A and B are shown apart, each in its own frame.
Chain A
Amino acid sequence: MTLRPYMPAVCLIVLLALYGCEREQRPVKAPPAASGLGDPSYAAAGKVPVSNRYEENAFAVSQGKTWFRAYNCNGCHAAGGGDIGPPLMDAKWRYGSDPGAIYATIAFGRPNGMPAFGQHVPEDQIWQLVAYVRSMSGQLSGSVSPNRSDTLQAAKPENRREKEKPVHEATPAAEH
């Protein structure tokens, strides 16, 4: 095999291009408030879909999973399968499945039992929780969603779940 003269240059360019790729960061410091992660007041209206940049950061999603356990979301949502609270790993979303709507749900609460955590959980942690909650129904990329759990987990790891197609489901009238 003969080495073509332009091959080293091609290799160099490919290496340089790879070097230019963004490496995932671990943001240990919370960004300052009103960081463009989304405006909760818009989110509260439930109308404007808000994007959440933590959805592209595996570390942040994994932190969201840590908060989900630490703040006892499991107490009602039972690892996403649902118990007193509704399941989070299926396609049904009473109050919308976009990040802004989920932020509003966590921060301001919802009727029939969801408490408001806005005074107790820092804003950036809520956004990490939002990212994790969306990963439960496979809404995030498999390269970002958690693949291991600190505790026993009966369901598939989040990064191997099928992507559910969210449908908006109105609150059942029978439930008060």
Chain B
Amino acid sequence: MNAVFLDPRPLQDALRPAGVQAAHIGSLWNLTLGLCAVVFVLVLGACLVALWRAPRAGAGTEPDLSSLSRPERRTWRVIGWSTGLAAAGLLALLAADVWTSRALARLPLRDAVNIELVGHMWWWEARYRDADPSREFSTANELHIPVGRPVVVTLRSNDVIHSLWIPNLQGKKDLIPGRTATLRLRADRAGSYRGQCAEFCGLEHAMMALLVEAEPNDRYEAWAERQRQPAAEPVDAVARRGREVFLGKSCVMCHTISGTTANARFGPDLTHLAGRRTIASGMFPNNRGHLAGWIADPQSLKPGVNMPANNLPPDELQALLAYLETLK
């Protein structure tokens, strides 16, 4: 478990914004925290002063009821001012909230990257849209985005309500079956950011992570160009045998590897599986051992997941792994 969870960089942190949207949200948070802290200190101070100034009298002293007969203008003034100040503070927060919402909605969208993100139980499917359909491609559980360019994420769900939350970049947005939502974001700082499903969606809700790699535009374009290529033809005999296993067993019922006859869309697209950092939606680092365990018995690693166990003979499993490792 080293790739994602023990990464030394702050991967999932709303207080360290890496984009203009998250910066707006961060400012709103700082303002709210500051204002509420001032109010909290004032209220506590008033309580302490009241305690300090309370008249102390013995048990036998007669109560002083003289104030009942005279008008208490000062008290009413204090109550009026306090109520007015409280209302003004709340209105200020409301105004800041509305202003932040407007700022979030006004991200300039020229030259935007369009990504359609579909929530599944329990993984993310990302389709990179393009005006030219032959340049579209699909990947899973890992977004690459260019630094400084706006990204329009179109959100859909395949089954139940999910919610996308990448704290370093934007606020939450729900993915509701049968509806389409959009989230606009822009990363201003290169880095790896972790996203997470933020709406309980079943057994493995906690294990539905999304890795966002923000990188300079030229590196992003190079990555996208690689993703558009079909899978490389396996060169050695073991990998070719692995492809036969892939196409002859149940893998082909759910997964796509472009350039082969595997074209099913129910599971993640595996065309460039070896280029991804994690498997099982951010649960495990993508290496041969974890992949082998995942193929052989996914229900022990992520109970309830739709991937079935594959009881392959050892030589077929090794060949399959050798083939999957060629899918760079």
Contacts and interface: CB of A to CB of B under 8 A. Distances in A.
Interface of A: 26, 28-30, 33, 66, 70-72, 119-122, 124-125, 150, 152
B204 to A, nearest CB: 10
A42 to B, nearest CB: 22
B234 interface: no
A121 B158 contact: no
A119 B299 CA distance: 21
Interface of B: 158-159, 177-178, 203, 248-250, 252-254, 264, 266, 299-300, 303-304, 306, 308-311
B249 A30 contact: no
A122 B308 contact: yes
Closest 5 CB pairs of A and B: A70-B266, A122-B308, A28-B303, A29-B299, A28-B304
A72 B253 CA distance: 9
A70 B158 contact: no
Contact of A30 (B158, B203, B308): B308
A62 B248 CA distance: 26
Contacts of B254: 70
Contacts of A29: 299-300, 303, 309
A30 B304 CA distance: 11
Contacts of A120: 249-250, 252-253
A70 B264 CA distance: 8
Contacts of B300: 29
A150 B177 contact: yes
Q: Which of B249, B253, B264, B266: most chain A Cβ within 10 A?
A: B253
B250 A30 contact: no
Q: Which of A28, A72, A124: most chain B Cβ within 10 A?
A: A28
Contact of A26 (B177, B250, B304): B304
Contacts of B250: 120-122
B248 A119 contact: yes
Nearest to B178: A152
Contacts of B266: 70-71
A122 B177 CA distance: 28
Given A30-B309, A122-B309, A124-B308, 15 more contacts: A28-B304, A29-B303, A29-B309, A33-B311, A70-B306, A71-B264, A71-B266, A120-B253, A122-B250, A122-B310, A125-B308, A150-B158, A150-B159, A150-B177, A152-B178
10 contacts: A26-B304, A29-B303, A70-B254, A70-B306, A71-B264, A119-B249, A120-B250, A120-B253, A121-B253, A150-B159
B129 to A, nearest CB: 22
Contacts of B178: 152
A116 B123 CA distance: 29
A70 B249 contact: no
Contacts of B203: 28
A17 B321 CA distance: 52
B140 to A, nearest CB: 15
A24 B308 CA distance: 21
Given A120-B249, A122-B309, A125-B308, A30 B159 contact: no
Given A28-B299, A120-B253, A150-B158, A66 B306 contact: yes
A26 B305 CA distance: 12
B284 to A, nearest CB: 18
Nearest to B309: A30
Contacts of A121: 250, 253
Nearest to A125: B308
A33 B310 CA distance: 12
Contacts of B306: 66, 70
A121 B254 CA distance: 10
Contacts of A152: 178
Nearest to A70: B266
